[in-house]
Structure 1
Amino acid sequence: MALGNEEIELVRSSFEKVYTNKDEVAALFYSKLFEMEPSYKSLFKGDMNEQGRKLMLMLKTLVSGLGDLASLVPVIQDMGKRHIKYGVKSEDYDVVGAALLATLQQGLGTEFTPKLKGLWTEIYQIVAKTAIEGSKQ
């Protein structure tokens, strides 16, 4: 996938808007995730505030690197390797993606246009595929 500059800027500006409330956005994400799949709560044994910070930092890294996705492959694969140790399965990525999109929808409201949703979906699918590949190494 090669995003154009306009598409990258659209994703980055949308992320900047939600990142200004990163703690609340992270809490909203996990609330949606656990609402969609209550059994996932047992996968998270640590401080959820710290987990939220890690989530937002990873998203920030991904969004910052959209202009050079190839450079992110090792980072994403490493994340996949770590997550497999926590009991995350390949099929879990679909639920995480749905929770992310629902969080962005709520956080951005009417600014979360079909085009923007499509871009975030495309990016997330590539991240999930790369993480799953990493988990199998």
Structure 2
Amino acid sequence: MNPTQINLVQESFAKVAPILEQAAVIFYDRLFEVAPTVKAMFPVDMKEQRKKLMATLAVVVNGLSNLESVLPAASALAKRHVSYGAKAEHYPVVGGVLLWTLEKGLGAAWTPDVAAAWTAAYATLSGYMISEAYGSAQAAE
């Protein structure tokens, strides 16, 4: 990611911040719609899970300027996800849902440049997490 992309991700996330709770609901509703089998990996009461998602996303977005600062936590999170039943093939689905959610939340502010920046950010982080959780061969697929 280049500095311009990092700024685009951070600025666009700041625009979503006022509706984080709603965005989390939209995200999980969409995730369970497009990948209903993953719902079993989550608690029945999603309130805390939604808070964790947005808190984690905020940490990552704020840490993009110094990616090395968030990588240890991303590695630990990736390894925990394995114990929940997450597989490498879930990452592209989650990424698609995240981008879809951001597009809905940002409306006209979701430009091709913002989309490309978020795509790069997610690809960077998810590739790292897949590698940490499953090994580098899985990350390349």
**Does the alignment reach a TM-score above 0.5?**
yes
Alignment of 1:1-137 (within 5 A): 1=1, 3-4=2-3, 6-136=4-134
TM-score (norm 1): 0.93
Runs of 5+ unmatched residues, structure 2: 136-141
CA contact (8 A) 1:34 1:40 kept: yes
CA distance, structure 2, for counterparts of residue 76 and residue 14 of structure 1: 21
1: CA distance, partners of 2:5 / 2:127: 21
For residues 126 and 76 of structure 1, the distance between their equivalents in structure 2, rounded to whole angstroms, comes to 11
Moved over 4 A (4+): none
Mapped to 2, the partners of 1:39 and 1:73 lie a distance apart of 28
CA distance in structure 1 between the partners assigned to 2:127 and 2:76 by the alignment: 13
User: What SS does the corresponding residue of 2:43 show, helix, strand or coil?
Assistant: coil
Q: Which runs of 5+ in 1 are unaligned?
A: none
Q: For residues 132 and 18 of structure 2, what CA distance do their matches in structure 1 show? A: 31
| TM-score, normalised with respect to structure 2 | 0.91
RMSD in angstroms over aligned alpha carbons? 1.3
Note the C-alpha offset of 1:118.
0.5
Question: Identity over the aligned pairs, expressed in percent?
Answer: 41
Give the superposition deviation at 1:16: 1.0
> How many corresponding residue pairs?
135
Q: Tell me the amino acid that sits aligned with residue 27 of structure 2.
A: F
Do the aligned partners of 1:79 and 1:134 also contact (CA within 8 Å) in 2? no
